[in-house]
Amino acid sequence: MTETDVSEYVKRLNSATETGDYDEALSIAEEGLKRYPRDGSLLIGKGNALQGLGRLEEAAGFFKQGSERLPHDAISLSNLAGVLYEMKRYDEALDACNEAIRRDSDYVNAYIHRGNVYCETGRYAEALSSYEAAERLSSDDDLILFNKATALTMLERFSQASECYERLLKKFPDNAEYLSALGVLRERESDFDGAAEIYLKLLEKEPSSATRICLAGCLYGMRVAGNEERALELLDEWLDRFPEDEIARHTLETFQDREVKRASAAYVCELFDTFADSFDEVLDGLSYKAPELIADALRNAVLPTGSFENALDLGCGTGLCGKCLNAKNAVRHLTGIDLSSGMLEKARSRGCYDVLERSDILEYLPQHLSEYDLIVSSDVFTYLGDLSAVFKGMYGSLKSGGYGIFTVTENIKDGDGYILGASGRFAHGEKYIVRNLDENGLFTKAVTRVDLRYEMGEPVRGMLVICRKT
């Protein structure tokens, strides 16, 4: 066989990789390496196939071998950087990018990978510089322009970012990724009207839950800014196109002057399934305190020492409350329930619950009578207006002498009732809470004013309530 046989293997290997047939690509690479075990191109090709199959650690090993066999090659190191980036090994990825650029200062992918690493680690100015270097080498590359726009957005250079997105949308007016990014940019500019129009257009292309939730958020932003009439026009347009949309219908309820007893289970489930992955990060940005307040209240006002035998976390979400209770060694056995399977998966990963179950609160409580010493609920009642059935269920599920600790947003307009706010969440008055607890056999031990989180830069006033079954 002649030397041209190696290039034939490489040609077949690259063809299979480009079509996404990574199993075939791997088979070709392994066949070629049996004959030419030290060939750098085949080693890199095998790395590409392994990366496509998600076998990242193995892929990194073959890219390193290829780099050693081809000491002047930038491709192997750039590909290595991409794999290390996927594995979140950012320092190593950055080293690989810089070495690739040292080997070949005109290799554009190395600059792109370096920009991605900088973006992921919050070094947005350096990311922008790297993307601009890539752009000088490949001025018509849409990916580079999109990444550059992302960095500009994070640097709050909104006008320049907008120009980039508009250039992309001029070429690809229906591209969902570009539309979504421009919508997010408009939101960051507080141009909620412009963002809502983009999201409405995007719904025609890609009616995802995330887009619909963002649209609802924009309408809320418009109402806070005093532009309620325009917000209602856009909502009408949304409902005309998607009359069965649970998120749109719940948003409509916030505009209507009528009693709404609760957000629909379908709405709540979709909302939290959509944001399960980013939920904790979002709450960190809002200075969310409710789980810590509940755990502190338990230790300071209810049980200074020892622990509850059996506790229930209503609407446990990603497990933030369970984490705080465990940190205080406050419970021996903890059950969490939630409507969202996505949130339950996150809670399960924390390892602080003995039992996790997907269930509606109002269905679960009547099935577990006199079972719990403690029931906690952190900001869950913001999606329930009428709490009488919840309190009745809590009374039934608590053992005699058992405690309930929960937070609610305070209805500062009417202490005797509850309201559905423009945000789509309920707020409750103190007199309403105390009266309904009493009517359902629960004695109110304490009501404390607290700041639960921040919205639009302002603290959200709430109440931390401690009650007991007597």
% of the chain beyond a pLDDT of 90: 69
Contact 403, 468 (CB under 8 A): yes
Rounded to the nearest integer, the mean pLDDT of the chain is 90
* Among candidate residues 114, 139, 141, the one with its CA nearest the CA of residue 129: 114
pLDDT band at 454 (very low <50, low <70, confident <90, very high): confident
Strand partners for 376: 313, 405
How far from 468 is each of 95, 153, 376, CA to CA, in Å? 59, 50, 12
At residue 217, the pLDDT reads 85
Q: Are residues 198 and 102 in the same domain?
A: no
Residue 170 lies in a domain: no
Neighbours of 399 (CB within 10 A): 16
Question: Is the pLDDT assigned to residue 272 strictly greater than 80?
Answer: no
Q: SS3 for 96? A: helix
**pLDDT tens digits, 320-356:** 999 999 988 889 999 999 988 998 999 999 999 999 9
At residue 24, the pLDDT reads 94
Q: Are residues 37 and 129 in the same domain?
A: yes
Q: Are residues 301 and 340 in the same domain?
A: yes
Q: Are residues 434 and 336 in the same domain?
A: yes
Q: Are residues 49 and 92 in the same domain?
A: yes
Q: Are residues 252 and 201 in the same domain?
A: yes
**pLDDT tens digits, 110-131:** 999 999 999 999 999 999 999 9
Q: Are residues 291 and 433 in the same domain?
A: yes
- Count the domains in the chain: 3
Tell me what the mean pLDDT of segment 23-39 comes to.
92
At residue 186, the pLDDT reads 93
- Angle at CA of residue 101, ends 26 and 15, nearest 5°: 25
Q: Are residues 240 and 345 in the same domain?
A: no
* Domain that residue 31 falls in: 4-154
**pLDDT tens digits, 349-403:** 999 999 999 999 999 999 999 999 999 999 999 988 899 999 999 999 999 999 9
**pLDDT tens digits, 180-202:** 999 999 988 989 999 999 999 99
The full DSSP string for 153-189 is HHTT-HHHHHHHHHHHHHH-TT-HHHHHHHHHHHHHT
Residue 267 lies in a domain: no
At residue 282, the pLDDT reads 64
Give the H/E segment covering residue 445. strand 442-455
Q: What is the pTM of this model?
A: 0.69
CATH code of the domain in which 308 resides: 3.40.50.150
Residue 314 lies in a domain: yes
At residue 216, the pLDDT reads 86
Q: Are residues 292 and 184 in the same domain?
A: no
Residue 269 lies in a domain: no
Q: Are residues 323 and 202 in the same domain?
A: no
pLDDT band at 58 (very low <50, low <70, confident <90, very high): very high
Residue 160 lies in a domain: no
At residue 255, the pLDDT reads 78
Residue 20 lies in a domain: yes
Residue type, 384: L
Residue 70 lies in a domain: yes
Residue 76 lies in a domain: yes
Q: Are residues 334 and 391 in the same domain?
A: yes
